[in-house]
Amino acid sequence: MKKLTNKWALVTGSSRGIGRTIAKALAERGCNLVLHGRNADHLAATVADITPFGVQYHLVGGELDSPEGVEAVIAGVKAGPGYVDILYNNAAINNVSTPVFEFTQAEWARTFQINLFSMVQLCAAFGPGMRERGFGRIVNVTSGIAGQPNLAPYSASKAAVDKYTQDLSVEFKGCNVLVNHVDPGWIRTDLGGPDAWEDVSSVIPGMLVPVLLDDNGPTGRFYAAQDFKGL
Ligand SMILES: NC(=O)c1ccc[n+]([C@@H]2O[C@H](COP(=O)([O-])OP(=O)(O)OC[C@H]3O[C@@H](n4cnc5c(N)ncnc54)[C@H](OP(=O)(O)O)[C@@H]3O)[C@@H](O)[C@H]2O)c1
């Protein structure tokens, strides 16, 4: 099993669902973790998950729904390890199903702030340090959602995540900062809902593939976690 000993990963939205599952799988590989949720009190279950693996961890609570909130999360990381080797941009919100022309501008803006703009701000905060140290893995969580105008802000924000990921990968070309995006599949979480096709455990090992890439490996690529289910 490939180890991540002495690496630090920030997993946004690791208090529950897919982020919590990613955090546990990273801890199992010896990776130190900055755990994040809207409130640090939400992280107790994830701490219990990772404790058996004996890794170091640091807790950061904070809303990603404003630039100031994201700045506070960045400050929280800086008050802990100070940097990250792996930035796992996982936190996101979905919309309540709504006729497409009835979404308010405020809902469009809030969805893009949490799902895209916070990611952009976190990449700007931690990407340049990765380049200086000659190692980085940035993983942006996207979605296969398609043909659902009733969730248009969510869907469009994820399309923007895809485009941003590809552009950012070019910015970091040749310096071993690999930037990739991954779709977990339709998963039974609070966001995915009870009718989703897959249990959250199915996202491993797929969600780890873009983290475990060899140095100077693929960048700007799309991965589908379910392609690796059961491996
Ligand atoms: N589930 C699916 O079927 C599915 C399909 C495709 C893509 N995805 C993507 O997978 C990722 C994880 O989804 P999930 O299903 O695990 O979601 P989830 O169960 O709803 O968990 C969301 C996580 O994001 C955090 N979060 C939510 N709003 C936040 C905010 N305003 N500020 C800071 N943190 C916030 C939550 O923290 P708190 O616990 O503190 O609220 C929680 O840790 C998302 O990017 C999602 O778009 C999911």
Output the pLDDT for position 64. 99
Output the pLDDT for position 200. 98
Peptide bond into 205 cis (omega under 30): yes
Residues in CB range of 138: below 8 A, 6 or more apart: 86, 87, 89, 123, 127, 130, 165, 168, 172, 177, 178, 179, 180
Ligand 1 centroid–CA 132 distance in Å is 30
Any atom of ligand 1 within 6 Å of the Cβ of 141: yes
Q: For 41-53, what is the mean pLDDT? A: 98
Any idea which fold 8-228 has? Answer: Rossmann fold (3.40.50)
pLDDT band at 1 (very low <50, low <70, confident <90, very high): confident
The answer to whether residue 178 scores a pLDDT higher than 90 is yes
24 φ/ψ angles, rounded to the nearest 5 degrees: -65, -40
Output the pLDDT for position 48. 98
In the chain, what are the domain boundaries? Answer: 8-228
The whole-angstrom separation of Cα 59 and Cα 33 is 8
Output the pLDDT for position 20. 99
Q: What share of the chain has pLDDT > 90, as a percent? A: 99
Q: What is the pLDDT of residues 86-103, one digit of tens each?
A: 999 999 999 999 999 999
Which candidate in 88, 154, 164, 223 is catalytic? Answer: 154
The answer to whether residue 2 scores a pLDDT higher than 90 is no
Q: For 148-162, what is the mean pLDDT? A: 98
Specify which residues 223 forms β-bridges with: 182
pTM for the structure as a whole: 0.99
Q: Kindly report the average pLDDT of the chain as a whole number.
A: 98
Using DSSP's 3-state secondary structure scheme, residue 9 falls into strand
Any atom of ligand 1 within 6 Å of the Cβ of 107: no
Which one of 24, 38, 68, 71 would you pick to mutate in the ligand 1 pocket, going by the greatest count of ligand atoms within 8 A of its CB? Answer: 38
Using DSSP's 3-state secondary structure scheme, residue 170 falls into helix
Q: For 114-140, what is the mean pLDDT? A: 99
Concatenated DSSP letters of 57-110? EEEEE---SSHHHHHHHHHHHHTTTS--SEEEE----PPPP--GGG--HHHHHH
The answer to whether residue 184 scores a pLDDT higher than 90 is yes
- CB of 22 within 8 A of CB of 88? yes
The answer to whether residue 175 scores a pLDDT higher than 80 is yes
Largest CA distance in the chain: 50
The whole-angstrom separation of Cα 151 and Cα 217 is 34
Question: How many Cβ atoms sit within 10 Å of the Cβ of residue 203?
Answer: 27
